[in-house]
Every structure is written in structure tokens, then in C-alpha cells.
Amino acid sequence: EHTPAPTPSRAIYGFVLYLLFKTLFILYVLWAFIPLDVFKAIGLDFLPDKYFALFVPILVLTAVTLFAFFIYPALSLLLTSDIDEVNTIVDPQTIIRCQHEYLNNENCNQKIDNPYSKSWQQGKFCQKHLAINEIPNSPKVKNDKIKNYCDCLKDEKCLLKRNPNHLKKILARKPIPAVSDLNISDVCKKLYKK
């Protein structure tokens, strides 16, 4: 696993890089300020022109400025969702629960997969109860709760799939209500309907 903690090898590499760049900076300053006659007397007549002592830093600063003020914001704007997409209002990782009500007035609470698949209208029912609740005045059934309570994004880290007894421990506790987005259609009705 990657960690920013300082390991002995990282400490050595960091120190070597620090010394290297410090040395290169000192050589750059010496090259920029010592006259060419001194270098020629030593036998160093192959050094670049002093013009590059100013040209290269100015070129680098110009490139950084262009990137920071034009290229980076343009890339950010390209990656931004369109204004009419659902992702601008709701978080795609939000867990939305099924609102199907059983005879004993309990809710199903199964996780709804892709609740905004059809439109901006938030889906209210899981796959199992979607067909039942689309029919008006359909009779309520006994509590046939779905046993899959898993909300894990990755199956390999799911405790319920690794340990079947974990569900009993979860059901024994009093649950904390899950954080969820407000239904956008309800928000619009409250804000704009009189």
C-alpha cells in the first residue's frame, strides 16, 4: 500500500535530490555571474551564452503562467458535467433506499441501483418492488425483505459477503439513518410552487 510515511530509502532519495538541486542551482548562479574570461582561463570554453541565464527561467515562468491561467482552467472546464446533467445536483455515490412499504408498515430499505437512470425523477423502488409499485392500488405483500444489505462499492472489501453472521450483528444494532440527497423534484415543488 502506498503511504507518504518516510521510509529509509525515501529519506536517502530525498536527501540526494535535495543535494543535487542545491548543487545545480549554485552552478547556475556561478555560471550566470562569473565573466566568460574566467571560464576560458580555466579551460571551460564550451559553456552556453549568458543570454540563456535569463531566457530559460523566463521561458519556464511563461510556460507555468500559461498552464496555470489558461490550460489548467480549460481542462477543468472540459471535465465539468453539462449544466443539464443530474450529476451537477446529486452525488452519484449517494445510497438511496427502496420506499416500498410492507403490511407491518416497515420499509424495504434495499439499495436502489442507479436511481436516476430514466430521468431527473429519483427512483423510489428497488428492482424487486418496481413492478409491484408501478401498478396503482396493488395489494401489499407480507414482509419479504431482501437480504442483501450490502452498500460496498467493492465486493472484495464487503464484510457481508465474507462473513454471513455479520448481518445478524448489524440488525441487532439500532441503525443510523443513511445520508441521502433530497429528491430534486420535491425541492423544485417546494421552491417554485405556491
| Domain spans in the chain, listed from the N-terminal domain onward | 8-79, 85-182
What sign does the dihedral 122-125-131-134 (CA atoms) show? negative
- pTM of the predicted structure, to 2 decimals: 0.43
Report the pLDDT value the prediction gives residue 102, as an integer from 0 to 100: 75
Q: Count CA atoms closer than 13 A to 14's CA, side-chain side.
A: 8
Q: Closest Cα partner for 97 from 186, 178, 182, 153?
A: 178
Report the pLDDT value the prediction gives residue 58, as an integer from 0 to 100: 96
Report the pLDDT value the prediction gives residue 194, as an integer from 0 to 100: 55
Report the pLDDT value the prediction gives residue 180, as an integer from 0 to 100: 67
Report the pLDDT value the prediction gives residue 146, as an integer from 0 to 100: 45
Cβ distance 78 to 115 under 8 Å?
no
Report the pLDDT value the prediction gives residue 167, as an integer from 0 to 100: 67
Cβ distance 180 to 95 under 8 Å?
yes
16 in helix, strand or coil? helix
Q: Closest Cα partner for 33 from 9, 55, 50, 12?
A: 50
Report the pLDDT value the prediction gives residue 144, as an integer from 0 to 100: 47
Residue stretches of the chain with pLDDT short of 50:
136, 141-147
Report the pLDDT value the prediction gives residue 143, as an integer from 0 to 100: 46
Report the pLDDT value the prediction gives residue 185, as an integer from 0 to 100: 76
Instruction: Calculate the alpha carbon distances from 84 to 12, 87, 88, 114, 183 in Å.
Output: 51, 9, 8, 18, 16
